[in-house]
Copies of this chain bind each other. A is one copy, B any other.
Amino acid sequence: MKTKKHIVIIGGGTGTFTLLKGLHSFPIKISVIVSTADSGGSTGVLRNELGVMPPGDLRQCLLGLSQADPLLQHLFGYRFDRGFLEGHTIGNIILAGLERITGSSEAAVREASRLLKVHGSVVPVTKKPTTLIAILENGRRIVGEHFIDEPRHDGTLRIRSLVLTPSGSANPDALRLIKTADAIVFGPGDLFTSTLPNIIVDGMAQAIRSSRAKKILVTNIMTKYGQTHGFTASDFLTTLEQYLTTKIGEKIIDTVIVNTKTPPQSVLVKYKKEHALPVVADKHELARRGAAVITGDFLSRDPIKKQMGDELKRSMLRHDSVKTARAIVSCLKRYP
């Protein structure tokens, strides 16, 4: 019997959720390594007040891999729209409660996985919550994931570097997953607040470099003010490799998956209000960098299910779960 291929997704957040839902139907083993720096909204309140692991990204990844009946999934993802619970999801509250009951975030994730019939593993990248700090090109420090995610500063400024406090060493479970991976997928998701907060954890970049897995980057559909403002697809690649490599010019990423379908004008108008533009697929530059490039229409046409994730106005555009998953799985075949 052939062993199943093992795909490790690095991220958290809505982009990861979408991808996991697509990967579901393929006969592969799926693991997710999740950032522990999330600090916004419901998640921020719960981690601050209860001292628990930020639950938001964990919740989305667990839901992405859940085979539980639809109502239970709906319940876990349900976000209250009024009263003192407004903005909080039941899944976040359950994860916080499980951690308070069991005394550990690992046990909480394990028990939530059991409850949600999760097929796959969800692993926080560190054993303790971390705080993300961005140092901007003008030297200013932005402390806290949510202040990077929803900037109150001039979002056209590039992020010069990203650090964690405490710097935190990688969860051994995460390193073990990377070791046995056949493919490691970065994105789709916010580069500086979902993907990179995993990679800057001590031991993670090295483990990824040493891994023989195929490394796949899924670039975002839209740029994001305060993070990837003005980024082309190759800027995503350059930035990611900056954090992955130790030597200038070292190549890590094997394949870049880039959407080339232009979103509907009506949606673009809304994004433009948040200074977000479609990510340009600069294929020549990507090819020059030695990465295989998969382009195509990866745009989802499904209406966004409000209750399933941390919806922000700018998340109206999503990757198509199945098309993106299919492109990723095709990479496994390319490199047998």
Contacts and interface: CB of A to CB of B under 8 A. Distances in A.
Given A50-B82, A50-B83, A75 B93 contact: no
Copies in the complex: 2
Given A50-B83, A71-B102, A84-B84, 11 more contacts: A46-B83, A48-B83, A49-B82, A49-B83, A49-B85, A50-B80, A78-B97, A78-B101, A80-B97, A81-B100, A85-B93
Interface in A32-89: 45-46, 48-50, 71-72, 74-75, 78, 80-85
A45 B80 contact: no
Which 8 residue pairs spanning A and B have beta carbons closest together? A49-B83, A90-B97, A78-B97, A50-B83, A78-B101, A93-B93, A71-B111, A75-B97
26 contacts: A45-B83, A46-B83, A49-B82, A49-B83, A49-B84, A49-B85, A50-B83, A50-B85, A71-B101, A71-B111, A72-B115, A75-B94, A75-B97, A75-B98, A75-B101, A78-B97, A78-B100, A80-B96, A80-B97, A80-B100, A84-B84, A85-B96, A90-B97, A93-B93, A94-B94, A101-B307
Contacts of A100: 78, 80-81
Taking chain A's interface residues, is the majority helix, strand, or loop, or is none over half, making it mixed? Answer: helix
A111 B49 CA distance: 30
Interface in A93-110: 93-94, 96-98, 100-102
